[in-house]
Amino acid sequence: MGDRVVILDRDGVINEDSEQFVKSIDEWIPLPGSIDAIARLSHAGYRVAVATNQSGLARGLLTLADLDGMHRKLRDLLAEQGGRIEMIVYCPHGPDEGCGCRKPRPGMLEEIGRRLSVDLAGIPFVGDSLGDIAAARAVGAKPWMVRTGKGEDTLASRSPHLAGVAVRDDLASVVDAILHD
Ligand SMILES: [Mg+2]
Ligand SMILES: [Zn+2]
């Protein structure tokens, strides 16, 4: 049980998503219950990692300093509740750059598996988009969908990729399910 890991998408799972991109610390707003949910994972002995597409960097909409600031805000809020995120991996590329890290490609999840020395088979990956589901499946992780962020729209797409995916209202509900497994 030493290798219990949960991987999270960021925008739409931990914090409010925006069609205009989340570009600043002030625009980084945690979703209700998400910080507490991550802290509960920490307290239960889970290692938590984040894998997030941040093409706003390639688009010039935010800087690495902005991104660092957001992640400091996340870590500070979490620390207040005794929680911790072990690793945040981001893809800075645009959709047309053909990188291996931008979800739906699995590069970020593979990097997390490597750096945490953990087998990703069956590891929960919580997301709100089809790209998250595809990336999870590509590494044998277990995809979970939330209805927050782009989640409702993703579910409304009725994509065949949704078949067999566990769905919950939000991250807090996913964590409830993981911890009661
Ligand atoms: Mg998302
Ligand atoms: Zn990339």
Range of the domain at 58: 5-179
Amino acid 181: pLDDT: 77
Structure tokens at 19: 């069609």
Residue 50 confidence (pLDDT) above 50: yes
Specify whether 9 is catalytic. Answer: yes
| pLDDT level of residue 1 (50, 70, 90 thresholds) | very low
CA dihedral 116, 119, 124, 129 (to 10 degrees): 90
Specify whether 169 is catalytic. Answer: no
Count how many domains the chain has: 1
CATH assignment of the domain containing 46:
3.40.50.1000
Give the pLDDT mean for 132-137: 98
What's the 41 CA to ligand 2 centre distance in angstroms?
27
pTM summary value: 0.97
What's the 21 CA to ligand 1 centre distance in angstroms?
11
Mean pLDDT of all residues belonging to the chain: 97
Choosing from 9, 17, 128, 132, the catalytic residue is: 9
Amino acid 108: pLDDT: 98
